[in-house]
Amino acid sequence: MSDPNAGTDEGATDPEDADVPPEAVLEALFATIESRKAELPEGSYTVSLFTHEKGENAVLEKIGEESTETILAAKDDNLDELTYESADLVYHLLVLLAMKDLDLDDLREELRDRF
């Protein structure tokens, strides 16, 4: 994984900070992604997705790859791998939401409307 300390992350909680409670992890991760988008620090994998020469296709391709890897892990009943690939998939999905100026509230509202 790329250097998690790249960038300033002003106002964002580092998702790798052990003090982040599990229920706050998605918010912390999304705040880091938004910070990378705004600050564009060197050495950041997230920034490489926002600035890729392929444009949005870079993250779209990663979502395709990670979806396939998630499916294969499930078919293998490999729960550790399923968890790992699901985390890759969720991270790239959050990058896509940020790229499209959507956020976790949009996702939460959509899911809540289905209750």
Ligand X SMILES: N=c1c2ncn([C@@H]3O[C@H](COP(=O)(O)OP(=O)(O)OP(=O)(O)O)[C@@H](O)[C@H]3O)c2ncn1[C@@H]1O[C@H](COP(=O)(O)O)[C@@H](O)[C@H]1O
Q: In the complex, which residues of this chain contact ligand X (CB under 6 A)? A: 1-4, 6, 15-16, 29, 32, 36, 44-47, 69, 88, 91
Report the b/e string of 62-85 with b at 16+ CB within 10 A. Answer: bbeebbebbeebeeeeeeeebeeb
Least distance in angstroms from the C-beta of 47 to ligand X: 6
Q: What is the crossing angle of helices 79-99 and 25-39, to 10°?
A: 50
Residue number with CB closer to ligand X (2 or 55): 2
Residue number with CB closer to ligand X (2 or 57): 2
Tokens of 110: 């959509």
Beta-carbon contacts of 106 under 8 Å, excluding residues fewer than 6 positions away, are 97
Residue number with CB closer to ligand X (43 or 55): 43
Q: Which residue is nearest to ligand X (CB)?
A: 2
Least distance in angstroms from the C-beta of 65 to ligand X: 6
Least distance in angstroms from the C-beta of 1 to ligand X: 4
| Rama region for 7: left / alpha / beta (φ>0; ψ in -120 to 50; rest) | left
Least distance in angstroms from the C-beta of 103 to ligand X: 16
